Amino acid sequence: MIEKMKHYTFLVYHGKYDDFLEKLRDVGVLHVTQRDITDEQSQDLQDRLLLQEKIGKVLAHLETLL
């Protein structure tokens, strides 16, 4: 029986990449590709991570006010 494949994108720290792939293999993932990102994409990702960190700090501060 042929089933439609689902597509997922993961951002994985390079030091954990091999372990991550091994765990995917353990759960039966059949096809994994690696993509290099451009400097622009890298900067965008860094900006988003910084924004996420700032939002987390704001939320933590707001929780102290409740």
State the burial class of residue 56 (Cβ atoms within 10 Å of its Cβ: 0-12, 13-18, 19+): exposed
pLDDT score recorded for residue 5: 78
Q: Is the pTM of this model over 0.75?
A: no
Q: How far apart are CA 44 and CA 38, in angstroms?
A: 10
pLDDT of 50? 94
Each of the 66 residues of the chain gets a pLDDT tens digit; together they read 777 878 888 888 889 988 988 888 888 877 777 778 888 888 888 899 999 999 999 999 999 998
Q: Identity (one letter) of the amino acid at 59?
A: L
Q: In this structure, what token pair is assigned to residue 62?
A: 């707001």
